[in-house]
C-alpha cells in the first residue's frame, strides 16, 4: 500500500446478516407494493395536493443571461382582478434569507433575484393569484427595466473574465469559484518513470435528468400556529429542515415538510430547497397557502439540476509492458451561475476515479467556473459518470498508442479478485468484486469475438459498424464527505459526516405490520424492498405489511434515495428494527408460552418453542395481548404496552478525510461493477447512430429484487444513451438557452432504444452491508456513454474519426465525419 | 371571460360544467373534475403523459380545450379499474414492472388502449411505434413493451370480458 494511505484504516465490518443462499424473499422478483395505487391514478403527486384557500403562483423570469435589475413596475399586474399580490426579490428578502450552500465560502443565491440576474430563467418577481391562468396573465404585465451585462457562456473565457462580467463580485473577485490541486501518492515519480504518457483533451457537456414531473411546492404559513406547512417533492424532506429553516428563519420544529409520491428524480429532486424557500416565502408574503408547480420551461431554466459540464486535460502514465501506473488531470467545470453543492460532483468522482484498474497514484487540479447558465445539480452519476467516461477513453487511447487490444489491456490492468478490499489512491475503498467474472459473462452474452469479426467484415464492405466495450465502477452508498472534501482546508464549510436512514415498525393488534418510512418514493421501490427484507428477517408474509411515510416532524432520520444508497441503508435499518422487535416479541411471546425468551424462536410469523411443534403464539396474538392486556404481563418497563420500535442505520463504512487531504478517507465503499458491450452502425451521410446489439452485465452484490434492479439498469442505460447521442443544451453567444423544451431537447423514445438488450447479473456480496446488498440505481448511465463512444469510434475507425466530446448528436457526428473526409483529401 | 357550458361523459358518468374557453382539457380534467390521475409533463404536446381516451382515440389533453370535448366520451386512468380489480392493461403493467415513478403511466395506458382496440395482436415493433409518442424517463421502455404485449395476450383470451372503447 502506498505510504499516503497508511493512516486510512479500514474499520471492521458491522454486517449482522451475512450473505447466504436459501433466502425466502430476498432475491425474488416480487411485484411492487407501490404499484396498484399508482396504476389506478391515486398516487398523489405534488400537483394533486390542494389545501383550503390555496392560491397559485406564476413567475416573472429573466430573459437575459446577465443583467442588472434597474426597476420593476408591478402596478399593472397588481391591478388585474384575481391577483392577490405581486412580489419582487426585495420583498422576498424581507421574509427569507439566501439559500443554503455547500460551497465554502458560499456563493450567495437568493430564491428570487435581488439586484441582478445571472442566468436566463432566474426569477425576478412572482404573482400570487386566485388561479394559475390569472397569475400567468399578471406575470406578463410586470415591467422590468434592465441593464444588460456581458454574458459568460464559454467555460475558459468565463474563467478569465473581469469587471462587469464577474457574476458574484461580493463573493469572489472573478468567476473561478474554486481552484484546488491534489496529489494522492507519488504522481510525479510515476509520470517521470512512465514509458508512455497518453494525453487527451476530453469534453463532457451539460445534460440533465428532466424527470417527466417537474418540481413543485404547496406551502402555507401561520405565524400563530405551527409556522410553515409545506408539501414538497424533495428527496431530502427529512434531512434538510434544519438548513431550510435557516433560510425561512424558523426552527425545524416550526417547519413541517410533507412528502408526496414523486414523479421521477434521478438526482434532480434531491435538494429542491430553492423552490421550497421561494414558495414558502410567497405564502408568508401573501398570507394565503400558495401552490407553485414549475412548467417545463421553468424546470429547464431555473430548477438548478443541470449535470456536469467539464473539460479535461487528462494524462495516463503507462509502463513498457502496458501497466497503468498513474492518472492525472486538470478539469474545468462549467457550474453555471451558482454552486449549491460546492464541487461535490468532483468529490463523488474521487470514489472511483481510477476505475477498475490497479493505478498507484492520482493527481488532479479542479477548477470550478461560474458562467451565466442555470446552475448544476445532481443527475444520475453525480459526476462519476463523467470520470468513468474519461477513464475508459484514456484506456482506449492507450490501447491505440500501444497498438494493443483494448479488452486485453483492460484485463491486464484490472484489480484481481483476491485484492479486496482494495484501496484506491484517493483513499476510498472497493469493498469487493470480481471484475473478471463480469467481463467474461458480458463477452459470452454478447458473443464478442463473433461480433468483432462481423463488424470488421461489414466495415470491409463499406459499412460503418463497430463494437465498443466498457468496464466501469458503480460506487454506491455515499458518505457526505464528498460534498466538502475538495474544499480548501482553510474554509472546509459544513463538514457533514452523517447519512442516517431510519424506520419505525409497529405490529398492530390485528397482527399486521405498520411501517413508517422517512424517505419518499421517487420511482424506486422503498416499500417493496422493505417488505422483502422485513418478511425475510421476521418470517412473515410481505402482504402483511402496510406502509406510511412520515413528515419531517413525525419522522426521524431519513436522507432519501440518491447516491444508490437507499436499498442498502434501509436494509440496515430493517435489520436493526427487526432485532429490536424480535427481542420484544420473544419476551412477550415467551411469557405467554410460559417459557424463557432464550427457549423460543421466530417461525412462520409465530413465536415458537424451539424444537417443539404446536407450542407457538402468532405475532397477532402477541401484539393484541401486549396492546390491550397489560395485566397479563409482569410489572416493569420491559413489558411496556405495544410492539413498536424505531431504528436508525448509519453509514456502514466511512472514515474522515486526512487533514492535509493526502487522502479523502473512505466515503463510497460499496462498489458494484458493470460491463457494457454495444455494436452500432453509423450512417455517415447523416451522422445517425443505430444500436445493433447491446449487452450489459452488472454486479450489484446480493440482489433484493432482480426485476426492479433490471428496471433501474434499463432506465439508466436509456439515460446514458440520451446523454451520449441525442440530448444537448444549446446556449447561444448571449447566454440564451435555445432548446429548453421536450420538442428540441431530444430524450430517447422507445424507438431509440436497442431492440435486443441482454442483461446479466453477477452477485459478489458486500462484506459490509446487510445480506451483502449493494446499490444499483445509477449503473446504466455510468456505463452506457463509455461503451457507445468506443463503438462509434470503432465504427468510424477507417475514416479516422475520434470522439473526444459528448454528446455526439447526428449533426455533431456528421461534422466530425466531414472534417475527417476533408482532412483525408487535403 | 364568458364561460361556456359543456356536457360530456367521463368514465361512464355524465358531467356538466361551465368553463372558460381557454381552459385546457388537462386542467379541466385534473382540477375541475378532480381526476388528478391525468398528468401534465410538458404542456406542449410532446411527452404524452396527459393522454386520455376521447371517443376511442388517445389524445393529448394539454393540446385541447375543455370546450372542444362537448358531447365527447372520455376515459381517464381513473375509469380503468372496475371495483377492486385493475384493468388487464394495468394488471400487465404491474406484473411486468412497466412503471417506476408512474408519472407517465396514465398516458401510456391511454395509448395502449387505443393500440389494442385497433390491433389486438401487435408485434413488438408496432408496440414500440405506438408508444414512441410517450416519453418515459424511468423504464427505458423495455418493460412497458412487455407489459403491452402481455396485456394484448390477456385481452385476446376467449374468456376475457374486457371490451376496449372502439376507435
Q: Whole-number mean pLDDT of chain A?
A: 97
Q: Cβ contact (<8 Å) for A741 and B141?
A: no
- Collect all residues of chain A within an 8 Å Cβ-Cβ radius of residue B61: none
Q: A501: Cβ–Cβ under 8 A, 6 or more apart, which residues?
A: A518, A519, A557, A558, A559, A565, A566, A569, A570, A572, A573, A648, A649
CA distance from start to end of chain A: 52
A751–B97 C-beta distance less than 8 A: no
What three-state secondary structure class fits A549? strand
Q: What are phi and psi of A448, to 5 degrees?
A: -60, -45
Contact A765, A701 (CB under 8 A): yes
C-alpha separations of B96 from A26, B99, B145 in Å? 19, 9, 9
> Which of A31, A263, A266 has its CB closest to that of B103?
A263
Measured between beta carbons, which residues in chain B are less than 8 angstroms from residue A741? Answer: 42, 44, 46
* 3 state SS of A467: strand
What is the SS3 string spanning A76-120?
HHHHCCCEEEEEEHHHHHHHCCCCCCCCCCCCCCCCCCCCEECCC
Please determine, for the modelled complex, whether the ipTM score is greater than 0.90: yes
- How many C-alpha atoms does B140 have within 13 Å on its Cβ side? 25
Residue B85 DSSP symbol = B
A559: distance to nearest CA of chain B, Å? 19
Q: Is the peptide bond before A105 cis (omega within 30 degrees of 0)?
A: yes
What local confidence, expressed as pLDDT, does residue A826 receive?
Answer: 79
Contacts (Cβ under 8 Å, ≥6 apart) of B145: A750, B124, B127, B128, B131
pLDDT of res. B133? 97
Distance, CA of A635 to CA of A439 (rounded, Å): 61
In tens, the pLDDT along A172-231 reads 999 999 999 999 999 999 999 999 999 999 999 999 999 999 999 999 999 998 899 999
Question: How close is the nearest chain A Cα to the Cα of B46, in Å?
Answer: 6
Q: What number of other Cβ atoms are within 10 A of residue A417's Cβ?
A: 13
pLDDT < 50: residue spans in chain A? none
Phi, psi of A135, deg, nearest 5? -60, -40
The enclosing H or E element of B6 equals strand B4-10
Task: Give the pLDDT of residue A391.
Answer: 98
What's the pLDDT at A125? 98
Cell, residue A137: 396573465
Contact B101 A263 (CB under 8 A): yes
Question: Contact at 8 Å (CB) between A238 and A187?
Answer: no
Q: Say if the Cβ atoms of B103 and A211 lie within 8 Å.
A: yes
Average pLDDT over chain B, rounded to an integer: 96
What was the pLDDT predicted at A225? 87
Backbone phi, psi, residue A304, to 5°: 55, 45
> Phi first, then psi: what are they for A27, rounded to 5°?
105, -5
Cell of A362: 492520482
Whether B166 shows a pLDDT value over 80: the answer reads no
Q: Cell 382540477: give the residue.
A: B31
Q: What pLDDT score does B158 carry? A: 87
CA distance B113 to chain A (A): 14
C-alpha to C-alpha distance for A773 and A764, rounded to whole angstroms:
9
To the nearest whole Å, the CA of B94 is away from the closest chain A CA by 6
Say whether B135 and A522 touch across the interface (CB within 8 A): no
Gyration radius of chain A over CA positions: 28
Query: Tell me, what's the pLDDT at A226?
Result: 85
Question: What is the band of B167 on the pLDDT scale with cuts at 50, 70, 90?
Answer: low
Contact across the interface for A523 and B138, Cβ inside 8 Å: yes
d(CA A233, CA A218): 10
Amino acid at each position: 500500500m502506498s505510504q499516503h494511505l497508511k493512516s486510512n484504516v479500514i474499520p471492521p465490518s458491522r454486517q449482522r446478516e451475512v450473505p447466504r443462499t436459501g433466502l425466502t424473499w430476498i432475491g425474488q422478483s416480487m411485484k411492487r407494493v407501490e404499484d396498484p395505487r399508482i396504476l389506478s391514478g391515486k398516487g398523489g403527486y405534488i400537483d394533486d395536493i390542494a389545501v383550503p384557500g390555496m392560491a397559485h403562483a406564476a413567475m416573472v423570469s429573466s430573459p437575459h443571461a446577465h443583467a442588472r435589475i434597474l426597476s420593476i413596475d408591478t402596478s399593472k399586474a397588481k391591478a388585474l382582478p384575481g391577483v392577490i399580490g405581486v412580489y419582487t426579490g426585495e420583498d422576498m428578502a424581507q421574509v427569507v434569507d439566501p439559500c443554503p450552500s455547500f460551497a465554502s465560502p458560499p456563493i450567495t443565491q437568493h430564491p428570487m433575484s435581488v439586484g441582478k440576474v445571472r442566468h436566463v430563467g432566474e426569477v425576478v418577481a412572482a404573482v400570487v393569484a386566485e388561479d394559475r391562468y390569472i397569475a400567468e396573465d399578471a406575470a406578463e404585465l410586470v415591467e422590468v427595466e434592465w441593464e444588460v451585462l456581458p454574458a459568460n457562456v464559454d467555460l475558459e473565457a468565463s474563467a478569465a473574465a473581469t469587471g462587469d462580467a464577474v457574476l458574484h463580485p461580493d463573493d469572489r473577485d472573478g468567476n473561478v469559484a474554486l481552484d484546488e490541486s491534489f496529489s494522492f501518492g507519488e504522481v510525479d515519480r510515476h509520470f517521470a518513470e512512465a514509458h508512455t504518457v497518453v494525453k487527451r483533451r476530453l469534453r463532457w457537456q451539460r445534460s440533465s435528468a428532466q424527470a417527466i414531473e417537474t418540481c413543485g411546492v404547496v406551502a402555507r404559513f401561520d405565524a400563530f400556529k405551527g409556522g410553515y406547512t409545506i408539501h414538497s417533492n424533495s428527496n431530502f424532506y427529512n434531512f434538510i429542515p434544519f438548513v431550510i429553516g435557516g433560510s425561512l428563519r424558523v426552527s425545524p420544529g416550526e417547519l413541517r415538510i410533507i412528502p408526496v409520491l414523486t414523479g421521477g428524480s434521478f438526482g434532480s429532486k434531491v435538494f429542491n430547497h430553492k423552490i421550497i424557500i421561494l414558495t414558502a416565502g410567497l405564502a408568508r408574503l401573501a398570507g394565503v397557502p400558495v401552490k407553485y408547480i414549475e412548467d417545463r420551461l421553468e424546470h429547464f431554466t431555473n430548477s438548478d439540476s443541470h449535470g456536469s459540464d467539464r473539460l479535461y486535460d487528462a494524462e495516463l502514465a503507462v509502463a513498457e509492458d502496458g501497466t497503468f501506473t498513474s492518472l492525472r488531470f486538470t478539469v474545468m467545470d462549467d457550474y453555471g451561475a451558482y454552486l449549491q453543492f460546492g464541487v461535490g460532483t468532483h468529490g463523488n468522482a474521487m470514489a472511483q476515479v481510477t476505475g477498475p484498474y490497479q493505478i498507484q497514484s492520482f493527481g488532479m487540479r479542479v477548477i470550478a467556473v461560474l458562467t451565466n447558465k442555470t446552475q448544476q445539480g445532481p443527475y444520475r452519476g453525480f459526476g462519476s459518470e463523467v470520470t468513468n467516461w474519461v477513464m475508459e477513453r484514456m484506456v482506449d487511447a492507450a490501447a491505440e498508442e500501444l497498438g494493443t487490444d483494448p479488452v486485453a489491456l483492460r484485463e491486464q490492468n484490472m484489480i484481481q479478485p483476491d485484492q479486496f478490499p482494495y484501496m484506491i489512491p484517493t483513499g476510498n475503498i472497493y469493498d469487493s468484486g470480481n471484475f473478471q467474472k463480469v467481463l467474461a459473462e458480458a463477452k459470452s452474452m454478447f458473443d464478442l469475438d463473433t461480433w468483432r469479426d462481423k463488424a470488421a467484415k461489414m466495415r470491409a464492405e463499406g459499412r460503418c459498424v463497430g463494437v465498443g466495450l466498457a468496464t466501469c465502477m458503480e460506487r454506491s452508498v455515499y458518505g457526505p464527505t464528498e460534498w466538502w472534501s475538495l474544499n480548501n482546508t482553510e474554509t472546509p464549510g459544513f463538514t457533514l459526516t452523517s447519512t442516517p436512514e431510519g424506520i419505525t415498525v409497529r405490529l398492530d393488534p390485528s397482527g399486521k405490520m405498520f411501517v413508517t418510512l422517512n424517505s419518499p418514493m421517487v420511482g424506486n421501490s422503498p416499500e417493496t424492498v422493505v417488505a422483502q427484507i422485513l418478511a425475510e428477517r421476521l418470517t412473515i408474509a410481505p402482504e402483511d405489511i402496510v406502509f406510511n411515510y412520515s413528515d419531517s416532524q413525525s419522522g426521524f432520520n431519513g436522507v432519501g434515495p440518491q447516491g444508490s444508497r437507499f436499498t442498502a441503508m434501509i436494509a440496515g435499518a430493517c435489520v436493526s428494527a427487526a432485532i429490536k422487535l424480535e427481542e420484544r416479541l420473544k419476551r412477550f411471546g415467551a411469557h405467554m408460552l410460559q417459557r424463557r425468551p432464550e427457549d423460543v424462536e421466530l417461525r412462520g410469523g409465530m413465536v415458537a418453542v424451539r424444537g417443539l411443534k404446536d407450542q407457538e403464539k402468532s405475532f397477532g396474538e402477541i401484539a393484541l395481548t401486549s396492546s390491550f392486556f397489560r395485566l397479563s404481563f409482569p410489572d416493569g418497563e420491559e413489558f411496556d404496552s405495544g410492539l413498536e420500535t424505531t431504528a436508525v442505520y448509519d453509514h456502514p463504512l466511512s472514515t474522515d478525510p486526512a487533514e492535509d487531504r493526502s487522502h479523502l478517507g473512505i466515503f463510497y465503499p460499496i462498489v458494484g461493477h458493470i460491463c457494457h458491450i454495444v455494436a452500432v452502425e453509423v450512417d455517415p451521410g447523416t451522422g445517425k447512430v443505430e444500436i445493433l446489439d447491446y449487452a450489459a452485465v452488472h454486479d450489484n452484490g446480493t440482489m433484493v429484487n432482480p426485476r426492479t434492479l433490471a428496471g433501474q439498469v434499463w432506465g439508466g442505460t436509456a439515460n446514458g444513451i440520451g446523454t451520449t447521442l441525442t440530448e444537448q443544451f444549446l446556449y447561444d453567444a448571449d447566454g440564451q438557452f435555445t432548446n429548453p423544451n421536450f420538442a428540441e431537447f431530444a430524450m430517447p423514445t422507445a424507438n431509440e432504444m436497442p431492440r435486443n438488450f441482454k442483461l446479466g447479473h453477477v452477485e459478489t456480496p458486500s462484506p459490509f452491508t446487510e445480506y451483502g446488498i449493494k446499490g444499483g440505481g445509477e449503473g446504466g448511465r455510468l456505463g452506457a456513454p463509455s461503451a457507445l463512444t468506443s463503438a462509434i469510434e470503432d465504427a468510424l475507425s477507417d475514416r479516422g474519426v475520434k470522439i473526444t466530446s459528448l454528446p455526439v448528436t447526428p449533426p455533431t457526428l456528421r461534422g466530425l465525419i466531414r472534417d475527417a473526409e476533408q482532412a483525408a483529401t487535403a | 371571460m364568458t364561460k361556456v357550458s359543456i356536457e360530456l361523459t367521463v368514465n361512464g358518468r355524465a358531467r356538466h360544467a361551465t368553463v372558460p374557453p381557454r381552459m385546457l382539457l388537462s386542467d379541466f380534467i385534473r382540477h375541475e373534475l378532480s381526476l388528478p390521475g391525468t398528468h401534465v409533463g410538458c404542456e406542449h404536446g410532446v411527452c404524452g403523459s396527459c393522454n386520455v381516451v376521447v371517443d376511442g382515440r388517445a389524445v393529448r389533453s394539454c393540446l385541447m380545450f375543455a370546450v372542444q370535448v362537448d358531447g365527447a366520451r372520455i376515459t381517464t386512468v381513473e375509469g380503468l379499474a372496475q371495483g377492486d380489480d385493475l384493468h388487464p392493461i394495468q394488471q400487465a403493467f404491474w406484473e411486468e414492472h412497466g412503471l417506476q415513478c408512474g408519472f407517465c403511466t396514465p398516458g401510456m395506458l391511454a395509448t395502449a388502449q387505443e393500440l389494442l382496440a385497433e390491433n389486438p395482436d401487435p408485434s413488438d415493433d408496432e408496440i414500440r411505434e405506438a408508444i414512441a409518442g410517450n416519453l418515459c424517463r424511468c423504464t427505458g421502455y423495455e418493460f412497458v413493451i412487455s407489459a403491452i404485449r402481455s396485456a394484448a395476450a390477456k385481452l385476446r383470451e376467449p374468456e376475457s370480458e374486457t371490451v376496449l372503447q372502439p376507435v
